[in-house]
Structure 1
Amino acid sequence: MSILLINRDKGIKLSEILSEVKHELVVLSMYDLPDSDEFKYFEVIPNLRDLTYYLELKAIELHQEYYFKKVIAEDEFDLIRAARLREYFNIEGQTVESAVAFRDKVKMKDYLKGKVDLPEYQALTSASVLHDFVRNYGFPIVVKPRDKAGAQGVNIINNQEELYNFSKTKWDYDLQIETFISGDMYHVDAVVEEGNITMLSVSKYINSCLSFFSKNNILGSYQIHPEAEMYKRLEDYFKKVLSFLPTPRVCAYHMEVFHTQEDKIILCEIASRIGGGYILDTFKQAYSVDVLSYLYRRWCDLPVDKPSPKNTNKLFGFLLIPPQDGVLLSIPEEIKYDWVLKYDKNGEVGKRYNNPSYFTDKIAGIMIEGHSSQDVLDKLFYIENWYNNEVKWDLSLDKEPEKVLNNVSS
């Protein structure tokens, strides 16, 4: 009996997280791992995201030799393929129905229609659908992929000219169309086991995922205190949403909602996976638990320490700094404020960058702590202004990076 694990994390230490069963692991990984010699079988599949059928064919062949009792996948883009394999092998875990419900934004809303507030929505299958939707609901509208993540491929269309421009682009994936919702955006992140919430965090976004890509704005969020009214309200809303969806036995969730000026909570979407950015880090600070390790052990039926709130008098937030369309001239080497818990400097001086297409394109990530939501928010704005003054760009795209740096140094 073995455990099939599909991996996209280049820094994960599976032999430590799953030490009791490391010799049972059959790992198909996007990256080489330093502890791979401790697994029963290991193979690197560099373009893991694209080779859907190779991975599944390989897994079926390996199952004949190693006989899997578990299929584990944490990344959002692997959930459906992992579910297909579970059903083929007739083993427990998230089903295809469940994985699709949390991946396909149209089917997701179909489950929830009439039960919670949603935007008006429809699968975008033809020009006539696009035309009629605009005629019925007017501008602005939102067009986005049914199964992408992190605002990839999202278009906000404000008028007829933008509609025509969009109609001239190639649609490379299944799309949905929905009405634009104006309001603040919150995210709820949780681990749920056997219907019970083990860990939960409610946070409010600064800007939005879309503005990170379309306007090169920072993306950030800050936690809401568990005793705040909005925390309790969104916790109850989260439970309600889950009650109408096919949920696995043990799972993490990332839900995004709009809070409108009319005080309505409207679902944006919900995914059956851990949130991105520094959400894992904020959970670790709040609960003294590495959520990913916790989930892997629960999925393998291994013992875990019970999570308990660690910093009840502290809240946490983070910023992701996007690149500009130009050459990076300077970037801070460190941040010396004691309330900055983590600073990841990803930008390389002298490198030419383009506008970001995903969160991994950030030039820096910063996590901070504070004593209240307002304290965290104030510090995030402060560090954003400080950082923008420190980082320097050359945005003249007609110059080579070497020449730009030579001009600066002279």
Structure 2
Amino acid sequence: MSLLILHRNPFEPFPYLDWLADYPGDIVVLAARDKFALFGEPVPEGDQGFTRLELCDDYDGEAVTARALELAEEYDVQHIVAHHEADLVRAAALRERLGLEGAWSADVEPFRDKALMKRLARKAGIGIAPHIAPGTAAAARAFAATHGFPVVFKDRTGYNSIGLRIPRDEEELERHLAEAFPGGRPRDDVLMEAYVAGRMCHVDGLVIDGEVAAAWPSQYQYELSSFAADPGPRVDLTLDVDDPLTPRLLELTERTLKALTPERTRLPHHAFHAEVFHTPDDRLVLCEIACRSGGAKIREVFRTLFGVRLAEFVTRAEAGLPLPAPPPRAADGSLPRPRCMAGQVLTMKRPGLVRSLPEVPDDPWVAGFWRYAEVGQVIAPAAGSADFLTAAVASAPDRAACERRLRALGERVRAATRIVEAP
């Protein structure tokens, strides 16, 4: 018996050998080679304590799936672990083909195919933006003529805002259509939406035995799509317990999870990350939801709130091991209350030669600090909303104090960072 891990992240946030110390079989890892340097880690050499560690140069290629099947046969794989959103469908298809326990394709597709997701959400009465899967440029033009500008284009199975485009007028639309539909060729992998004004909130949490066991909402203080043009600190922080939005966001997320979960799901335990617009006229509009933990440092924020490592929980669930204890519910039986407020402050990579970076702060309220470049390194611009230069997690007794701390820390990071034009 063995376990196969599909891994396209750095290893630092995923100490698998600690989490799986009681796993009774072999642990085999297929990892994306390029992700280590991208996140400031040395490319691992040897097996790093795993039974086998293989690094793949073309991690998105079909050769990785073929290699996973070969390793599954060689090691008698019984469990497959995958955390990154881009790996969920691959892992599900592998389990289904091999007849293994865990989520199969039908369980994860509602969380990956944004068109299917919105169809199921709308059927459940959940607010969503007008949208279309435009098979042709003509269909996209017709949608824009009906709903006006801006419009939003995204990959139906995309992640990290990669490929996200927001044309704001006809000229920008035509430029994008020329790229998206070269030669007028039809396609079915794009989703087009009407633009929703408002602040983006997100709800992160944990499902155990098909029920939400812990969850809490936060609010981005920036636009996710601005990652390539935003040189300043990007703050994201939790909502207070008594914020009127808090129960509304939690309730909407629970309804969405039920709407997207098959009646006989093979995914009873999982983390989730929901993104919801709060509009100027006080509506909640679902953007999308994933059956995995949030990116950036959302997992670390959640641990600060509840003492729970979402990735550890998912790893052990997918490995068929006993699960860590969830946080205790409130006295009235409602969802657990966080022990503090918390958030993250991020800066994005921008091109050039790194001359200076901030030191690790020693403030007692800083729960973690990460740098994803080195002084003297030439770096490229951010390629997605998770391509960070620095990241930090902080806490405070309430949201207002947490925001003050995060913004002050962000300014310190900005002042200590110097990137110049590369020679």
Q: Is the TM value for this pair above 0.5?
A: yes
Distance 1:232-1:342 versus aligned 2 partners, 3 A rule: same
Residues 41-80 of structure 1 mapped to structure 2, 5 A cutoff:
41-48=52-59, 50-51=60-61, 53-80=62-89
Give, in angstroms, the shift of residue 178 of structure 1.
0.4
Which residue is 1:278 aligned to? 297
Distance 1:9 1:212, change over 3 A: closer
User: What's the counterpart of residue 16 of structure 1?
Assistant: 18
Q: Which moved more, 1:179-188 or 1:100-109?
A: 100-109
User: Structure 1, unaligned stretches of length 5 or more?
Assistant: 402-410
Contact 1:124 1:175 in 2 (8 A): yes
Q: For residue 128 of structure 1, what is the amino acid of its counterpart?
A: A
> What is the CA–CA distance in structure 1 between the aligned matches of 2:68 and 2:25, rounded to whole Å?
17
Please list, as runs of the form range in 1=range in 2, the aligned pairs for 1:169-318 lying within 5 A after superposition: 169-170=179-180, 174-246=189-261, 248-308=267-327, 312-318=338-344
Give the conservation status (yes or no) of the 8 Å contact 2:228–2:381. Answer: yes
Deviations along 1:144-186, whole A, 9 cap, x unmatched? 1111112111111111111122123255982111000000111
TM-score normalised by L of structure 2: 0.86
Aligned-residue CA RMSD in angstroms?
2.5
Give, in whole Å, the separation in 1 of the partners of 2:177 and 2:120: 29
- After superposition, what is the alpha-carbon deviation per residue over 1:322-380, rounded to whole angstroms, capped at 9, x for unaligned? 13344433322233433223222333334444431124532211211111111111222
Percent identity of paired positions between Structure 1 and Structure 2: 26
Do the aligned partners of residues 321 and 22 (structure 1) sit closer, same or farther apart at CA in structure 2, a change above 3 Å counting? farther
Aligned to 1:149: 159
Q: Distance in 1 between matches of 2:79 and 2:404?
A: 45
In structure 2, do the counterparts of structure 1 residues 87 and 324 end up closer, same or farther at CA, with 3 Å as the change threshold?
closer
Q: 3-state DSSP class of the match of 1:213?
A: coil
Query: Cα gap change, 1:225/1:177 in structure 2, threshold over 3 Å: closer, same or farther?
Result: same
- SS of residue matched to 2:161: coil
Deviation sequence 1:31-77 (CA, Å, 0-9, x none): 576783754544332332x22x2222233333334333222212111
CA shift at 1:200, angstroms?
1.3
Distance apart, 1:250 and its partner CA: 0.9
Is residue 127 from structure 1 mapped to residue 146 from structure 2 by the alignment? no
* CA distance, structure 1, for counterparts of residue 323 and residue 157 of structure 2: 32
Task: Tell me the CA shift for residue 389 of structure 1.
Answer: 3.0
What per-residue deviation string (whole Å, max 9, x for no partner) do you get for residues 93-126 of structure 1?
Answer: 1121222211111121121124211110011221
Structure 1 position 317, deviation (Å) = 0.8
- Secondary structure in 2 aligned to 1:357? coil
Q: Distance in 2 between matches of 1:61 and 1:329?
A: 45
SS at match of 2:324: coil
Instruction: State the SS of the aligned residue for 1:113.
Output: helix
Query: Match for 1:46: what amino acid?
Result: D
Distance 2:27 2:80 in 1: 10
SS in 1 for 2:133: strand
Give yes or no for contact 1:320–1:366 (8 Å, CA) kept in 2.
Answer: yes
* CA deviation after TM superposition for structure 1 residue 9, in Å: 3.7
Contact 1:86–1:92 (Cα < 8 Å) also in 2: yes
Question: CA separation of 1:372/1:318 partners in 2, compared to 1, >3 Å: closer, same or farther?
Answer: same
Checking the alignment, whether the CA contact within 8 Å between 2:132 and 2:192 is kept in structure 1 is yes
Structure 2 CA distance, aligned partners of 1:347 and 1:67? 39
Q: Distance in 1 between matches of 2:357 and 2:367?
A: 18
In structure 1, distance between residues paired with 2:361 and 2:48: 38
User: Which gives a bigger RCO, structure 1 or 2 (Cα 8 Å, sep 6+)?
Assistant: 2
Aligned length: 395
The DSSP-based 3-state class of the residue aligned with 2:251 is helix
Name the counterpart of 1:404.
none
Measure how far apart 1:80 and its partner are. Answer: 0.7
- Which is worse superposed, 366-375 or 6-15? 6-15
Q: What stretches of structure 2 of length at least 5 have no aligned partner?
A: 34-42, 329-335
Mapping 1:160-171, distance limit 5 Å: 160-170=170-180
Q: Is the 8 A contact 2:231 2:350 kept in 1?
A: yes
Give, in whole Å, the separation in 2 of the partners of 1:80 and 1:137.
32
Contact 1:140–1:159 under 8 Å retained in 2: yes
Query: C-alpha distance in 2, partners of 1:170/1:176?
Result: 11
